[in-house]
Amino acid sequence: MANFFHFDELGTNFRTETVAGLTTFVSMVYILFVNPNVLGASGMEKGAVFTATALATAIGCFLMGLIANYPIALSTSLGMNAFFAYSVCIGMKVPWQTALAGVFIASLIFLVLTLFKIREIIIDAIPNDLKSAISGGIGLFIAFLGLNQGGIVTASKSTLVELGSFHVGSTWLTIFGLILTLVLMSARVPASIFIGMVATAVLGMITHLIPLPSQWVSAVPSLKPIFLQSIKHITDINTAQLWIVVLTFLLVSFFDTAGTLVGLAEQAGFIKNNKIPRIGGALLADSTGMVAGSLLGTSPVGAFVESSAGIAVGGRSGFTVIVTGILFILGTFFSPLLGVITDQVTAPALIIIGILMARSLKSVHWEKFEIAAPAFLIMLGMPLTYSISDGIALGFVIYPITMLAAKRGKEVNPIMYVLGVIFLIFFWVLNE
């Protein structure tokens, strides 16, 4: 085992890798409960999504560990599941079965592009500033969802949004969870998000704001309601609007995974001479994991930033995420806890993840207006239009225009001009 995972070469050992795998699991296990809540908003059966999330995560982790030998876990992306549920299913009124078919098609394209090394070409065509704005914008969108679901921010006819009522117990439960998690994160306590969720759930049960579960352990929920629905409904992808959805799944997965992989590889010290060793294997693992996730019945799978927790305690090989994957499989027996993990419990986690994702905005060259304008529209467009795809479209349409006006048109990759036209069509389709 040590030889297969190159422990000596990477300066690690079995104990360190096991502890790192456990640390990564504890840091990201919240996705088991957050993902069913988010995708459940689209009408999907939460128990089935719970199982799909666990299995997709385990498969993704095994692929990353065995193919790339990286301590980087894969799971369902919070940004993509929010786009799936709130933008596509609720906003565009697309049935979740059709949306899953869109994820499946996008994942197949993702895999083909990876095999032919086209992913790197497209990723390179998009300016780093816009990549950072997309990541930061998704963070703002996720945080806005959390604030709304937790009751801290509510809709208003006169001002569009307003502060929620502080005379509601559930709102105070969200505030408790948020403050506790902020304190834990600031104190750099490992697994802060998970601890915050557990403490909030316990307080909710003590105060009777959350009902006690009838049992804690049960048989694994059936996948049947969602399994292979992506293939069964593939013929539903038959309009320009739905193909735009497929393209958006593809594009956002591009940016999300690429940025996370680079950041985690840098943290682990893998990058040498601006090159990431075994990057082909890592890209193959995440694209294959995305295909597996779509067949199981969940939104796109990608690299998880919480892997940084395992890397921070010494994880350097793929064995780290093999451990993480095994623990996710064991986690499938705890589905009764889904009833305990309410919106008030997951809302603080969404807000915190939003804060973490917003860090990427520091990389935008705000002093250059031709860059700042499209980046700002991407960032602000996502929460204000309640759509990740709309925010991306706003920025991608404006970017070539502002660059041409600044007499920097030659610096724009031709692919960006093509994407600008595609997103103009995207707006046209949405307003039919």
- 183-221 residue pLDDT tens: 998 998 877 877 888 899 899 999 999 888 877 788 888
Close Cβ partners of 9 (under 8 Å, ≥ 6 residues apart): none
pLDDT of residue 332: 87
Query: What is the DSSP secondary structure assignment for residue 214, as one 8-state letter?
Result: S
Distance (Å, rounded) from C-alpha 377 to C-alpha 362?
16
Copy the structure tokens of residue 383.
């929460």
Q: Which of 42, 25, 50 is nearest to 339 (CA)?
A: 50
Which has the higher per-residue pLDDT, 13 or 128? 13
Distance (Å, rounded) from C-alpha 142 to C-alpha 350?
6
- 281 membership: H or E segment, kind and range: helix 279-296
Copy the structure tokens of residue 123.
């990723």
Out of 119-128, 330-339, 415-424, which region has the weakest mean confidence (pLDDT)? 119-128
Q: Which of 139, 138, 136, 144 is nearest to 363 (CA)?
A: 136
The yes-or-no verdict on residue 16 having pLDDT over 80 is yes
Distance (Å, rounded) from C-alpha 110 to C-alpha 284?
9
Packing angle between helix 118-125 and helix 414-430, nearest 10 degrees?
Answer: 80
**pLDDT class for 230, splitting at 50, 70, 90?**
confident
Q: What is the pLDDT of residues 260-317, one digit of tens each?
A: 777 677 667 776 765 677 778 888 898 899 999 999 999 889 888 778 778 877 888 8
Close Cβ partners of 430 (under 8 Å, ≥ 6 residues apart): 92, 241, 244, 390
**pLDDT class for 56, splitting at 50, 70, 90?**
very high
Task: Return phi, psi of residue 131, to 5°.
Answer: -60, -45
Q: What is the pLDDT of residues 146-160, one digit of tens each?
A: 898 889 998 888 888
> Amino acid identity, residue 334?
F
Our CA dihedral for 297, 303, 309, 312, rounded to 10 degrees, sits at: 160
CA atoms within 13 A on the CB side of 376: 10
The yes-or-no verdict on residue 257 having pLDDT over 60 is yes
Distance (Å, rounded) from C-alpha 328 to C-alpha 135?
26
Query: What is the DSSP secondary structure assignment for residue 208, as one 8-state letter?
Result: T
Q: Which of 225, 245, 222 is nearest to 86 (CA)?
A: 245
Copy the structure tokens of residue 98.
């059709």
Distance (Å, rounded) from C-alpha 297 to C-alpha 263?
28
Copy the structure tokens of residue 302.
């990608």
Q: What is the pLDDT of residues 349-380, one digit of tens each?
A: 878 878 877 887 888 999 999 999 999 999 99
Q: Tell whether the torsion through CA atoms of 256, 261, 266 and 271 is positive or negative.
A: negative
User: What's the distance, CA 50 to chain centroid?
Assistant: 16
